[in-house]
Amino acid sequence: MAERALRGMSIGAKSMESEENVDFAPRMIARYYCPNGHLTELPFATDADVPAVWECRCSEEALLQDAVKPEPEKPLKPVRTHWDMLLERRTREELQVLLDERLELLRSGQLRSRRSA
C-alpha cells in the first residue's frame, strides 16, 4: 500500500536524523569538568545563559571551565602578514623544528660555516 510505504519512509527519515546534523543558530561550546575528570562539551546558543554546573554522566557535578565563542566573522579583506604566509607553507610544528635546528647551530657556532640545502 502506498500509504503504508509513505508512513514507513517518514519514520525512517526521522530516525536517521541526529542532532549533530542539524545546523543550529550561532552557538558556542561550553566545557564542563567533573571531579572524576570527565569532560562534557555542550553547545549553547551564543546568547544563552550557560549554566555554571552540569550533571556529569557519572552523576557528579561538573563545573563550567570555559565557553568558547565561535570566531568572529573575518573582515572582507584580511591583511596577510608575512607570518600568515609562512604559516600557510609550514605548520607550527615544522617551524618549531626548523627553529630548533637553527638555534642548535647558532649555539654550537656552526651557523656561519654551514650552507643550508
Q: Which residues bind Zn ion (CB under 5 A)?
A: 34, 36, 38, 56, 58, 60
How is the chain classified by DSSP, letter by letter? Answer: -HHHHHHHHHHHHHHH--GGGS-PSSEEEEEEE-TT--EEEEEEETTS---SEEE-TTSSEEEEEEEEPPPPPPPSSPPPPHHHHHHHHS-HHHHHHHHHHHHHHHHHT-TTTPPP-
Which residue, 61 or 100, is less far from Zn ion as judged by CB? 61
Which one, 38 or 69, has the nearer CB to Zn ion?
38
Q: How far is the CB of 67 from Zn ion (least distance, A)?
A: 19
Residue placing its CB nearer to Zn ion in the complex, 66 or 84 = 66
Residue count of the chain, please give it: 117
**Least Cβ distance, residue 36 to Zn ion (angstroms):** 4
- Looking up cell 647558532 gives 106
Q: Please state the closest distance from residue 43 (CB atom) to Zn ion, in A.
A: 19
Query: Based on CB atoms, which residue is closest to Zn ion, 12 or 35?
Result: 35
Closest approach of Zn ion to the CB of residue 44, in Å: 20
